[in-house]
Every structure is written in structure tokens, then in C-alpha cells.
Amino acid sequence: MSTAEAKARAGEDLSPADDLKHAIAGFMTEIKSKLQEQDDRMTKLDRKTMFAAKRPALAQATDIEAPHQKAFGAYLRSGDDDGLRGLEIEGKAMSTAVAADGGYLVAPQTAATVQNVLMSAASIRAIANVVNVDATSYDVLFARADIGAGWASETAAMAETDTPVIERITIPLHELSALPKTSQRLLDDSAFDIEGWLAGRIADKFARSEAAAFVNGDGADKPRGFLTYTNMDNDSWSWGGLGWVPSGAATALLNGDAIVDLVYALGAEYRAGATFVMNSKTTGVVRKLKDADGRYLWSDGLAAGEPARLMGYPVLVAEDMPDIAAGAFPIAFGNFAAGYTIAERPDLRVLRDPFSAKPHVLFYATKRVGGAVSDFAAIKLMQIAAF
């Protein structure tokens, strides 16, 4: 204990120097106490940070997404939209806007499920060029005429060459919808997976409708299928339609010569990324085709998950392709990534309607999508002879 402190405790008068020393000692004691408190607080924060860092990433993701899932589930079950109004959905996955007409964007988990099922369906979507747009249509620009070129000498005048002409194909977006329903009693059952059920119903409806439209759609309020365009003999093919090669026999494929003709009717610049498209019945016939030496033209994938190949090219089995019949086009071959473009808006909207079909609840789901041929030289067809 210092002399100044002893005098202060004894009640003696302090000199100015002792008074200063006493004040400094009290100040130091207070500073040490505050520093100790701050050190204890920092130690506790460090422990919390280390504990949080050891948590699994999956648990953190669940904590972030759970409020959206819970709010969306409450809306589907009871129509309570209070939870949705206060949430901000992550912009990378969906739009944060709430539809003015009462529709709400589905939770991120539900939208991802629908998209995955669409991509896995046997549809032209799997091999076509798919683009996301924010407008009512999508324009594809292409240059049909090539630029001119010529050989020049050192002294001769340079002649003017042809200039490429840019043209445009417009793909309008159409509304694809589904209207599944369920009873309110089923919605009230907490054990029922409402989001999984809704995603499955919507995905099934959308996948089948899209697949059919991309092949046979007439373009009226739906995408235009590639088989609905003008078709012509490939020997007289012109831009605006698809060229075909004959099968050589009515209602049957007698040998693989027609398949060879179909492959080489497509330009060399497209063949590297080309795919055969046919349905299951046609596939069963084509699998039996052999060359002159008795070898099958069809070969199964060498590894798990690898598609089967016909003359070295993958085969997409799309059930919406027509069967083998006189005058039909059961087989298509082309580079669909260049030849067919699918344009869509990435958002999926769901509107809950508990009034129109009492005692059931309707779920009106919509999505906007369009499709059209974007390069008529990239797809060729096989026509079954009609004689």
C-alpha cells in the first residue's frame, strides 16, 4: 500500500503530491477492472465463433431456407399469406416479387424439384438450346448468306464481295398451366407432404405437355414443334422447312441404308453434336437393323449412364414422335442445340383457390415457355415411303 493510500485511510490530510498519487492509483485500478471485463467478454465471443464454425454447412442452409418453406406450407394449407409477405426470397433462385393478383412464387425447394424433373424427362428439352428470358418473346438472329471472298493479286484492283444478310426468328412465350386439387382435410393432415405432392403433380403435367408441344405443337398458344414445319425432299431443300430422306420401303425399314442416308444428309458442321430422336416402337425396329456383314447398327452404351448409340450417335427416345407408318416421319436426326431453341421465364407461379371447387382446394400453377426451330439446316427427317 502506498503512503498516500495509508494517509487517506487514516484520515490524515494529504499533500498535493499525495493527492495526485492517490487519484492516479484509483484510476489505474479502474482501468485494470475494465480491461479484465473486456478480456472476459472477448473470450466468450471467441468460444461462440469457434462453436458456430464447427456446425455442418447443411444445418446452416436449412436454417436459412426453413422460413420460406414454412411460410409457403402455411399458405398452401390455410391460405395464410402473412408469412410470405415478410420474407425476402434469395434473388439467385427466384424473384422476390409477390404477384399483384394474389399468386405467389413457390419456395426455392419446390421450384428446384420441378425443374429437375423437367430436365430428366424424355423430351427435346434435354438436347435443345434452352434460354431464360425476361420478356414476352425471344429473338434468334442468324446470317443465312455467307460473306464473299476472292483471291487478289499484287497489282489488280480489289473487287467488292457479298455482304452477309442477318435475319431474325421470333419465339413467343406461351403460358403452360396445371390445376391439381386436393381436399382441405388432407391439407390439414400435418403428415402429408404438401410441397412434394404439389411439385410432383406440376412436374408431371408440365413435362408431358412440353414434350408433346416441342414435337407436334402447332404454335397456337403453345410452342411450335419441329415436325409441324414445311418438309421437303432433301435434294430440293430450301430455308424455312426441314429436309427429309426416304426410307425406301412402305411401313417398314428393310435395312440400314436409309439410316446412313439420313446421317449424311446432315451437314458435316452439324454432325459432331447430332442426336437421333424416335419413340420406343421405332427404337425396337431400328435395334434389329444390321449391315451387310450382319453387324447391328445399334450399340449400347459402354459405361453406366451413357446413352445408346446408332452409327456412333446418341439416341433420345421421345414418345411423342410418330410411329412407323406410310408417309410418317418417325425418325429425326440433327444438332438440336443449334436447330431448336426453347425460351422460358424461370419463375413458377402458384395461386391457391379454396372457393371454386369446395370442399377441395385448387392450386393453379403457371409457367411461360416457347419453342421453335432456329436453324432449319440443323435437323433432318426420315419419311416412310407411301407406296
Distance of CA 297 to the CA centre of its chain: 34
At residue 342, the pLDDT reads: 94
pLDDT means per 10 residues in the chain (387 residues)? 56 66 79 83 72 46 54 69 60 41 50 67 87 88 72 75 78 88 73 71 84 92 94 91 83 70 94 93 86 76 70 91 90 95 85 83 87 94 80
Residue with cell 436409309: 258
Q: What's the pTM value of the predicted model, to 2 decimals?
A: 0.66
Q: Where does residue 327 fall: left (phi above 0), alpha (psi -120 to 50 degrees), or beta otherwise?
A: left
Give the ranges where the chain is alpha helix by DSSP (H).
3-10, 16-53, 57-78, 82-85, 108-120, 184-188, 194-216, 257-265, 268-271, 280-286, 336-339
Domains belonging to the chain, first-starting first, are: 106-143+169-387 (3.90.1690)
Q: Please name the amino acid found at residue 85.
A: R
Helix 57-78, helix 108-120: angle, nearest 10: 90
Residue with cell 420406343: 280
- C-alpha span between 217 and 235 (Å, rounded): 26
At residue 2, the pLDDT reads: 55
